[in-house]
Amino acid sequence: MSGYNDFMFYESDYEDGESDYEGTCDWCKCDHCSYIGEYNLCCQDIPKIFRKTQEYGVPCITLHPGFEPVVLNDFVLETAYCGYHPYKNWENYYPQYRYTAYRQLVRWCWGYLGKNNRVQLPSCAISKIRRTFN
């Protein structure tokens, strides 16, 4: 999947096979992070995501009322994938769900970043996406 033109991160960055131990990280402020290797960043340390959590008074982006419908809903992900890749077919397999869920999170929190621009996603969101589409 790394060959797509507007790929803003690589799924393999978040699929390193590390264990997910939710809530045991001393750097975590939201109590939903998991250790995932070198990509350990709490949603509360990312200004754009922190502002989203503050809008609804939730401690973690994964608890935001918009997270499930935007990032985890199968129907939304299938539709979003078709928008990102109009000439590719939706194959309905978990790596494609994860890939699209990561992109949806970026789009929801940052908007369109532009070609080859990437952001680091929070550990809590990566872990939730992994657990959902395992």
| pLDDT tens digit sequence for 117-128 | 999 999 999 999
The answer on pLDDT for 30 being more than 60 is yes
Q: What pLDDT sits at residue 115?
A: 85
Residue-range definition of the domain harbouring residue 81: 11-132
Please compute the mean of the pLDDT values over residues 2-26 and round it to a whole number.
46
Q: What pLDDT sits at residue 24?
A: 56
Please compute the mean of the pLDDT values over residues 56-64 and round it to a whole number.
98
With pLDDT > 90 as the criterion, what percentage of the chain qualifies?
Answer: 61
57: left (phi over 0), alpha (psi -120 to 50) or beta: left
The structure tokens listed for 49 are: 């995501």
Please compute the mean of the pLDDT values over residues 20-31 and round it to a whole number.
73
The structure tokens listed for 102 are: 């990561």
Is residue 50 in some structural domain? yes
Is residue 5 in some structural domain? no
Residues near 75 by beta carbon (within 8 Å), at least 6 away in sequence: none
Is residue 2 in some structural domain? no
d(CA 51, CA 101): 20
The structure tokens listed for 29 are: 């402020």
